Amino acid sequence: MTLDQVLQLFAAAAILCNVATLGLAVAALRRRGGPGRGRVSTGRGTAAVGARTVVGMAALLAIAATLGSLYLSEIAHLEPCRWCWFQRIAMYPLALVLAVGWARKDRGVHLYGLPMCAAGAAMSTWHYLLQHFPDLEGATTCSLTSPCAVRYAWEFGFVSIPYMAGSVFVLVGALLISSRRRT
């Protein structure tokens, strides 16, 4: 697989993350919509099992994003800029925290994961803005070898690497909120 094909695959995955996030938001709104639209419980342990499954999905997404970023830098040799590193600082521990929380059946894992998701999504948004508006503070002076405004990927006319990372942060955050409501 070429780098262009991998980037297209990652971009498609980011769009799927956006669709899944939208689906979670619609489902949450429908649950709040009116009488008789609440969640139906099918047994005593159903909610806890559901929450654990959701945390497991969030952990897998964070692990996949971590491995994807490592692929881009270590195998494809795309040098991460300063803002890419900040996003990695949020994503890498998030993958570990969620995996450990899932393995330990920690019902409070959202308390650790949500702040990382919020910080990562904020950093991804800022980095995406830097790519659109390079005149913003620090975009061109980020690094001589890897400026923050450089777009290694620009798939489908709008999906860049910070967009991909932001999509994962937002979906993982939505899943963690969903898992919190299931416990």
Name beta bridge partners: 155.
159
Give the closest residue to 116 by CA, choosing from 84, 145, 140, 92.
92
pTM more than 0.85: yes
Residue 107 maps to a domain: yes
Any domain includes 76: yes
Helices (H) and strands (E) in the chain, counts: 5, 0
CATH number at residue 117: 1.20.1550
Task: Judge contact between 15 and 159, C-beta under 8 A.
Answer: yes
- pLDDT in the model for residue 48: 42
In-domain check, residue 150: yes
Non-local (6+) Cβ contacts of 32 within 8 A are none
Q: For residue 173, tell me if it sits in a domain.
A: yes
DSSP code, position 143: -
Contact 109, 101 (CB under 8 A): yes
pLDDT for residue 44: 47
Query: How many residues are present in the chain?
Result: 183
Could you tell me if residue 170 is inside a domain?
yes
- 6 contacts: CB under 8 Å, gap ≥ 6: 71, 76
CA distances from 123 to 64, 77, 97 (A): 19, 22, 19
Quote the domain boundaries for residue 87.
3-8+47-182
Give residue 59's pLDDT. 98
pLDDT tens across the length of the chain (183 residues):
999 999 999 999 999 999 999 999 998 898 887 555 555 444 444 444 488 999 999 999 999 999 999 999 999 999 999 899 999 999 999 999 999 999 999 989 999 999 999 999 999 999 999 998 888 765 556 676 778 888 889 999 999 999 999 999 999 999 999 998 765
Tally of domains within the chain: 1
C-alpha of 61 from chain center: 7
Residue 42 lies in a domain: no
- Closest Cα partner for 124 from 17, 9, 43, 32? 17
Report d(CA 13, CA 44) in Å as an integer. Answer: 35
